[in-house]
A and B are shown apart, each in its own frame.
Chain A
Amino acid sequence: MSALAEPMAAAPPRRAGAAWRKPGLLVLPLLAFLAVFYLVPVLMMLSRASGPALDFAPVQAALTSGVAAQVFWITLKVAVITTLATLVLGYPLALFTAIAPPWLSRLLLAAVMIPFWSSILVRSYAWMVLLGRQGMVNEALIGLGLIETPMRLLNTSFAVYVGMIHILLPFMVLPIYATMKGIDGRLVWAAENLGAGALSVLRFVILPLSLPGVFAGVLVVFILCLGFYVTPALLGGPGDLMASMLIAQEVDLYNWDLASAYAAVLLVVTLLIVAAFSRLLSLDRVMGAGR
């Protein structure tokens, strides 16, 4: 209350340059960059998708096209299967990495991270080399006498899954691993002390407490799947057309309005899925109310 009685002159003088100390101003360069290179293109895309007469004619065309419906269905299917596969493969790997002795843990993390640092294009080409008719996989199978003639592996859905699972695995492993590392080891001791065997510790302590990492990994992998382009384009066959490839095709044909409409639909579908996902699996449900 005494501060109110102070004369006005006691207020600190405004200093030149004080505005720069406001944290909000520090993000201005980034906001400007995003506005020019992200927000404007997205708005241009949305305006093209709504058509010159604002009647959403391109979107209607996109939604009524049978090809588009099929492609979106394939995209969704690939995204779901890839996400589940990375989860099934990634969770045990993350768990093992988290509980392994430090040297082994570092080795496994390096094995996950090093491919992660090379480009998606390079890794997709690598799979082309491995899965081709004269690739290492076919040569090995023939050499072992398991098959007579080379199998068709490249340009199949199988190749798309293999490539995408390989490329997206780190995005699943890393958040799960980080969450597991954050679990207090004394909780595991407490569970053991209270009579829990290894499986019960996993089921009642580690699994529920690692769910935030699982959700983060699932969400990231799923969203990345929806927009995947290079890998299905290089490894897939004619039946593996995904949404991003459909958009690229229309761009190649200078059908900018239709391409924009497809992109807008993909964007909306992705946002809806993210919204539904974060609502269904909000952290409040895992960790109880009041967090």
Chain B
Amino acid sequence: MTEPTPGPLGAPLGAAVQFDQVSKRYGDALAVDRVDIDVAAGEFLTLLGASGSGKTTTLMMLAGFQMPSSGEIRVGGRQITHVAPAARNVGMVFQSYALFPHMTVAENIAFPLRMRKATAAAKGEAVARVLSIVGLEGLGGRYPRQLSGGQQQRVALARAIVFEPPVLLMDEPLGALDKHLRAHLQTEIKRIQARLGLTVLYVTHDQEEALTMSDRICIMRDGRILQTDSPETLYDRPADTYVAGFFGESNIVAARAEGDGRALFGPTPVPLPRAVRAGEAVECAIRPERISLAPAGAPAFGEALAVPATVTASTFVGDYRRYELALPDGTALSVRHPLRETQAGFAPGEAVTASWAPGAMRFFVDGRAVA
């Protein structure tokens, strides 16, 4: 279901979206600062950031509810910066769903078709089709308040796709739902997006949601884009410490570059990237799941860095065990150790060797990644 196949609504719908140096200013405050985003047709792109990062403002400018102070927005190559919201042909799912309370589910979904002067027959057919896509067959006659939150969310989605917009905008569409329902609807949204070949711009502050759903994620902070990349790249090669902190955990040790192109990670010299100059302060990061543990004195494999350490705490988490280690100089290190039948655990106080591949480490100077 990941191939964008022509669904029941016809050919794949998606159109490319471009933000070209788009800014939004409120008085003296810059809510969005010269943003460039290129979304390919059929791509699922997530704008991820804390509240106040400018992600929702960016989406509202694409929907037409906010006017950019400068810059251009294009959909399918067409300039839409100054086009009225009603003429943009862009679907949108609001966080609060914004269903019309005085209309039935079917009337809500038929609304965009009514605005486009569709015939009664065409409306009825299209409403039935999208109701089956979102799995709400037979509920067309209900009023929104007679539905559960998850059902209302599906109606909002159906209403946003029924007029076959090339681009679908979603502003924290799952924010009001409980965890179980969220996970279920994440899969649903991905399925529908893939089936229709829609271009989706999705706003969330939930990094897990962003990781599991997106083709690419655009990390925003203070109105600026910090990094736009695939979930894998963002996780493995974050551009700075802020992005690194957004996804997963890291052991970060502050060190100083020595003249020999190394730095002391605790007591152990680790090789630094060439771009780090001698004497510079550098932050060395290694993810807890990249560290292997072995009994003390076990030989290191190949290039792997081996660091002697003492276990200070051990926590069973279920699918892995979490160890807190202390290096000889007192530096603390967290390790995620996958559980295997053949391997006994380590007890607090036990001496171990922690090892990892040098390539698994990331280095930051002044908060920026250096390679």
Contact = CB atoms under 8 A, between A and B. Distances in A.
B98 A196 contact: no
A289 to B, nearest CB: 7
Contact of B86 (A184, A195, A209, A290): A195
A193 interface: yes
Nearest to B102: A208
Interface in B64-103: 64-65, 84-92, 94, 96, 98-102
A194 B111 CA distance: 7
Interface residues of A, number: 23
B145 interface: yes
A197 B88 CA distance: 12
A96 interface: no
Interface string A181-209: 00010110111111111001000110011
A195 B163 contact: yes
Contacts of A186: 94, 96, 98
B86 A287 contact: no
Contact of A194 (B65, B96, B163): B163
Contacts of B91: 193
A193 B96 contact: no
A287 B144 CA distance: 11
Nearest to B109: A194
Contact of A195 (B96, B100, B116, B145): B116
A208 B86 CA distance: 20
B85 A192 contact: yes
A238 interface: no
Contacts of A191: 100, 111
A291 B143 CA distance: 10
B145 A204 contact: no
A37 B146 CA distance: 45
Nearest to B96: A186
A115 B65 CA distance: 38
Nearest to A288: B143
Nearest to B117: A195
B21 interface: no
B104 A193 contact: no
Contacts of B111: 191, 194, 196, 204
Contacts of A196: 86, 111, 115
B65 A189 contact: yes
Contacts of B143: 287-290
Nearest to A186: B98
Contact of B115 (A184, A200, A289): A200
Given A184-B96, A193-B90, A290-B146, A209 B115 contact: no
A286 B96 contact: no
Contact of B104 (A184, A197, A204, A288): A288
B352 to A, nearest CB: 54
A187 B92 CA distance: 12
Contacts of B163: 194-195
Nearest to A195: B115
A200 to B, nearest CB: 6
Contact of A189 (B98, B114, B159): B98
Contacts of A187: 98, 100
A193 B92 contact: yes
A208 B143 CA distance: 15
A136 to B, nearest CB: 45
B92 A190 contact: yes
A286 B100 CA distance: 12
Contact of B85 (A193, A287, A290, A291): A193
- Which of B64, B86, B114, B145 has the most CB atoms of chain A within a 10 A radius of its CB? B86
Contacts of A200: 115
Interface string A159-191: 000000000000000000000000010110111
A282 to B, nearest CB: 14
Given A195-B86, A196-B86, A286-B102, 20 more contacts: A186-B94, A187-B98, A187-B100, A191-B100, A192-B84, A192-B85, A192-B86, A193-B63, A193-B85, A193-B86, A193-B91, A195-B87, A200-B115, A204-B111, A208-B102, A209-B101, A287-B102, A288-B101, A290-B143, A290-B146
Interface of A: 184, 186-187, 189-197, 200, 204-205, 208-209, 286-291
Interface of B: 63-65, 84-92, 94, 96, 98-102, 104, 111-112, 114-116, 143, 145-146, 159, 163
28 contacts: A186-B96, A187-B98, A189-B85, A190-B92, A190-B98, A190-B99, A190-B100, A192-B84, A192-B86, A193-B63, A193-B64, A193-B85, A193-B86, A193-B91, A193-B92, A194-B86, A194-B112, A194-B115, A194-B163, A195-B87, A195-B115, A195-B163, A196-B86, A204-B100, A209-B101, A286-B102, A289-B143, A291-B145
Closest 6 CB pairs of A and B: A195-B115, A190-B98, A194-B112, A288-B143, A192-B85, A186-B98
